[in-house]
Structure 1
Amino acid sequence: MFKPKIRILAAALTLVAFPLLAAAQGDAPIRIGVPVGLSGANSVVAPSVVQSAELAIEEINAAGGVLGRKLALEVADDASGAVGAQKAFDSLVFQKKVDVLISMETSAARNAGLPIVARGKVPYIYTSFYEGRSCSPWMFVNAWVPEQQVPPVVDYFMKTENAKTIFLVGSDYSFGRGMLEFTKKYAQGKGAKIVGEEYLPMDGSDWTAVISKIRATKPDALITSTAGGAPNVTLTKQLRAAGINIPYGNLAVDEGTAKSMGADAAGIYISASYVTGIDSPANKKFLDALTKKFGADLKTPNDLSVPEYEAVYAYKAAVEKAKSTDSDKVLKALGEVAVDGPRGRIAMNQQHHAPLTMYLAQVQPDGGVKVIDSFKDVAVGAQCPNLK
C-alpha cells in the first residue's frame, strides 16, 4: 500500500535535487591546467609563465569570471622533459579534470603530452615558440615558428654584418635541431655558407669542444638554438669566457633569461614577438598590473610568459563565443576569436597558429633589449595544412 507514496516522494526529491545539482555544476570553477618546467631546463623561465597565468586569472575573476564561473589554476611540474610531461599531463587531465591546458613547454614535453591530450579530449593552447609543424586538432599555438623568427636574424647578419659564413649550435632535441635545420636552409638559400653544426644533449653544460670547433672554423657569425633557460646561460658564459665576440644570434633566449645572464648576454641578437619596450597602452597596463601584483618578486615578462597571459584570455573569449566549455565547441571558437593583449591583436587563425609582429633586438649591458627593427603580421607559412 505504501509503494505509490514512496514513488511520489522519490520523484519529488529528484525534482528538487536536479536544479540543485545543476546549480552546483554551474558554480564549479573552470579549471585551467598549466604543465610547465618548474624543474629542469625551463626552470629559469617557468616562474614568469606561472605569474602571467596567475595575473590573467585574477583579472578575469575580478571582472566576473567566464559565463558566471570563476577560473581556477592547476600547475604541475613537467620537469622540462618527456617523462615528467607524461605524469603532469596525466595528472591534470585525468585526476584534476581540467577543462583546458595552457602552457609553455619544451618540445619534448609537448610531444609526450599530446597523446594524453587527445585521449582526454581536452583543448591545449601551446604558448611556447617552437620549431614548427606540430599538428593536432586539439592544439592551438599563439607563439612564433621558424618562418616568423629566423629571417630577421639571418638577413641582418648577412646585410649589415656582411656575414658570409655561419656556425650553428643547438641542443640535441626537436626544437634545437628543427630550428637550425630551417636556419641552415634559409641561410644557404640566401647565399651564406654553414661552416659548422654542433649539438649537446638538453642537459649538457660543457661546451668546450664546440667552442674549439668555432675557433677553428672562424665563422663570420654564430646562431644558436638551445633549450630555453639553463643551456642558454652555460653556452653564453663559456663563449664570453673564451673570447668569442663575433655577431651572435640566439634563437631561444628570451628577455627574462637575458636579464638573468647579466653582462654575458650583452650584444646577443634576438628575434621575438614580445619585448618589454613595446610602446602601447595594452603593454603598459599589463606591465603595471604585473608590478602591482608581484612587486619585488616579479620575474621579467618575456616572449615565453606573455603568450601565456594572452592565451588565458583567448580561452575566455572562445568559451564565451561557444557559450560552453564543451571541448568541440571551444576548439571551433579558438580559431575564430582574437585577443588584444601586450603583443597587439592575436588570432590563432592560420592553421591553428597566429600571424605575429616580430622584433629584431639586441641585448644591452643592463639586460634590457634595444629594438633594431620590426616586422608586422608575419605569416606562419605552411604549418598544418590539414587544419583550418
Structure 2
Amino acid sequence: MRFRQCLRASLILAASTLLGQGARAAESIRVPMITPLTGSIAVLGQDSKKAAEIAQETINAAGGIGGRPLTLEIVDTQGRPEIARREMERLTREGRAPVVLACDISAGTSGAAQFAESAQVPLLNGSAVSADILARGYKWYFSHQISSDDEATTAFAYMQTITGAKPLADRRIALLYEDSPRGAGTGERLRKLMDAKGINVVSETTYNRADRNLLPVMRKVQDSTPELVVWIGYTEDVVAGLKAARQLDFKPFVLGIGGGLGDPRLPELVDAAVIDQLRVANVDYFNPDIKRAAAFREAYVKKFASEPSSYAGTCYGAIMTLKVALEAALKTSPDLTPASVRDALRTLDIPGDDTITPFRFIRFDPANGRNLGAEELVAAWVDGKRKVTVFPAGIAVGKPVMLP
C-alpha cells in the first residue's frame, strides 16, 4: 500500500513537472522596449517600432527564443529622462522584466540607465551614443551602439580622406550641432580632437533641437565662410537648417553625424537639389546597402514600402543581439532573471558578419558596458536622392566626393 502511494505521488509530481515545463515553453518571453513614440523626436521611435516588428516576426518565424515566442512591449518615453525613469520603475518593479531594451535618444537612455543600475536590471542600449553614460561605470548598462567618441574619430578620419592635396590644417571647417547631450557630446569631442591635431575650427555654433527657425543659426555659420560644415542633428532640425541654407544660398560641403542627415526620407522633406548642392555625406551607424543588411532591408521594404533608417537598423541589430543573450541565459536556467541575462550579456562574443551593422564584433567591456567592436560608416548622397556607403574601404560600395 505504501509503495502504491509513493508511486502515485511520484507520477503526480512528474506529470506536474512536465505540465509546468510545457506551460513555460508556450509562455511568451516579454521584453519591454522604451522609445520616443511621441514628442519632438518621435521619428526615431516610430522607426524603432517598425524595426521591432520585423525583428519579432523574424525571430518567431524561426522558432522563437528557446522554443518560446518573443513579445516586444513598446513603451513611449517621449525622449524625456523623467518619463524613461518612471517607465523603468514600472517595468522592473511591477512588470518584473528581466531586461529592458532602450531604442531612445541619449537623454532618455541616461535616465533609464540610472534607474536600471539602482534596480539591478540590465538595460541594453540600441540607439543612444552619449559617452557620458559609459563614463559612469554602470554594471547593469550594456551599450550595443557606438559612442560619441567613435563618432568624433570616424568623422575626423573621413575628413582626412576627402581633403585631397590641400592639408586638413589649411581647410576652413565649421562645427554645428544641437545642444542636447547627444549633439553637444559629439561636437565637443570632435572639436577637442581637431584642436589637438591643429585643425582650424572657424566657428562652433549650437542650437536647440526644438527650434524650427534656423535661419539666424545658418547665417552665423555662413558668416564664418567655411569650406566644410560638420553638422550633428536630428531629422526635424536638419530639415529646418537645410531649408535655411537654401534661402541663404549657402553651399559648403556638409558632413553630417547621426540619423538626421542620413534619414532616407530627406529627399521627400527637402528639395533633392539642395542635398546634392551641399554634397552631403553622413557619419552613421547603419546603411541598408551594406551586404550584411540585405535580408533586413528586404523584409523592411516589403512590409513598409520604404528604406530603413539608421534608427531602424541600429534598433533591429540590438534586438537580434539580445536574442542571442536570452538564448544563452535560458541554457543556464529556464527562468529568466536579471542576473542570468546580465551574465549572458557579459559573455557575448558575436562575429561582425552575424550583425547588420558595420561592427567588427559585439563584445561588451566589463568595466562600462561599451561594445568594444562598435564601428561606424559614412554614406554619401548621390544626386540628392539615394545614399551609398563610401567609408571605410572594407565595406564601401562607392567612392567619397573630395573637397575642392
TM-score, length-scaled by structure 2: 0.80
Q: Hey, what does 1:343 align to over in structure 2?
A: 357
Instruction: Using the TM superposition, give the Cα deviation of residue 300 of structure 1 relative to its aligned residue in structure 2, in angstroms.
Output: 2.5
Matched residue of 1:195: which SS? Answer: strand
Instruction: Give me the whole-angstrom Cα distance separating, in 1, the residues matched to 2:59 and 2:204.
Output: 46
Cα distance change on mapping 1:97 and 1:328 into 2, 3 Å: closer
Task: Give CA-to-partner distance per residue, 1:219-264, whole Å, 9 cap, x none.
Answer: 22211222x3322222222223222211111112234353553424
Q: Hey, what does 1:306 align to over in structure 2?
A: 313
Q: Hey, what does 1:290 align to over in structure 2?
A: 300
Matched residue of 1:94: which SS? Answer: helix
Matched residue of 2:212: which SS? Answer: coil
Which stretch has the larger CA shift, 314-323 or 71-80? Answer: 314-323
Within the candidate set 340, 353, 378, 2:371 is matched to 353
Matched, 1:368 2:386: yes
Matches for 1:157-168 after TM superposition, within 5 Å: 157=159, 159-160=163-164, 164-168=171-175
Q: Hey, what does 1:37 align to over in structure 2?
A: 36
Task: Give CA-to-partner distance per residue, 1:153-207, whole Å, 9 cap, x none.
Answer: 3344452375623222222221111101111011122221222222222312222
Task: Give CA-to-partner distance per residue, 1:92-131, whole Å, 9 cap, x none.
Answer: 3334443322232111101111232234432221111513
The answer as to whether partners of 1:47 and 1:299 remain within 8 angstroms in 2 is no
Instruction: Give me the whole-angstrom Cα distance separating, in 1, the residues matched to 2:150 and 2:341.
Output: 27
Cα distance change on mapping 1:337 and 1:54 into 2, 3 Å: farther
The AA in structure 1 aligned to 2:310 is D
Matches for 1:83-94 after TM superposition, within 5 Å: 83-94=82-93
The answer as to whether partners of 2:104 and 2:128 remain within 8 angstroms in 1 is no
Instruction: Using the TM superposition, give the Cα deviation of residue 25 of structure 1 relative to its aligned residue in structure 2, in angstroms.
Output: 4.3
Q: Hey, what does 1:179 align to over in structure 2?
A: 186
Q: Hey, what does 1:329 align to over in structure 2?
A: 340
Matches for 1:1-388 after TM superposition, within 5 Å: 20=19, 23-135=22-134, 136-157=138-159, 159-160=163-164, 164-226=171-233, 228-252=234-258, 253=260, 254-262=262-270, 263=272, 264-266=274-276, 267-278=279-290, 280=291, 282-292=292-302, 294=303, 297-322=304-329, 323=331, 324=333, 325-335=336-346, 336-338=348-350, 340-343=354-357, 346-350=361-365, 351-374=369-392
The answer as to whether partners of 1:360 and 1:373 remain within 8 angstroms in 2 is yes
The AA in structure 2 aligned to 1:207 is L
The answer as to whether partners of 2:232 and 2:257 remain within 8 angstroms in 1 is yes
User: Which runs of 5 or more residues in structure 1 are unaligned?
Assistant: 1-10, 378-388
The AA in structure 1 aligned to 2:148 is P
Instruction: Give me the whole-angstrom Cα distance separating, in 2, the residues matched to 1:354 and 1:15.
Output: 46
Matched residue of 1:170: which SS? Answer: strand
CA RMSD of aligned residues (A): 2.9
Cα distance change on mapping 1:145 and 1:27 into 2, 3 Å: same
The answer as to whether partners of 2:98 and 2:341 remain within 8 angstroms in 1 is no
Instruction: Give me the whole-angstrom Cα distance separating, in 2, the residues matched to 1:313 and 1:145.
Output: 19
Which stretch has the larger CA shift, 213-222 or 152-161? Answer: 152-161
TM-score, length-scaled by structure 1: 0.83
Instruction: Give me the whole-angstrom Cα distance separating, in 1, the residues matched to 2:152 and 2:387.
Output: 18
Percentage of identical aligned residues: 20
Instruction: Using the TM superposition, give the Cα deviation of residue 133 of structure 1 relative to its aligned residue in structure 2, in angstroms.
Output: 3.9
The answer as to whether partners of 2:128 and 2:182 remain within 8 angstroms in 1 is no
The answer as to whether partners of 2:215 and 2:241 remain within 8 angstroms in 1 is no
Matched residue of 1:239: which SS? Answer: helix
Instruction: Using the TM superposition, give the Cα deviation of residue 13 of structure 1 relative to its aligned residue in structure 2, in angstroms.
Output: 9.3
The answer as to whether partners of 1:169 and 1:225 remain within 8 angstroms in 2 is yes
Task: Give CA-to-partner distance per residue, 1:321-344, whole Å, 9 cap, x none.
Answer: 232422222222223231612226
Instruction: Give me the whole-angstrom Cα distance separating, in 1, the residues matched to 2:256 and 2:40.
Output: 16
Cα distance change on mapping 1:370 and 1:20 into 2, 3 Å: closer
The AA in structure 1 aligned to 2:240 is T
Instruction: Give me the whole-angstrom Cα distance separating, in 2, the residues matched to 1:104 and 1:182.
Output: 23
Matched residue of 1:256: which SS? Answer: coil
Instruction: Give me the whole-angstrom Cα distance separating, in 2, the residues matched to 1:125 and 1:229.
Output: 24
The answer as to whether partners of 2:52 and 2:316 remain within 8 angstroms in 1 is yes
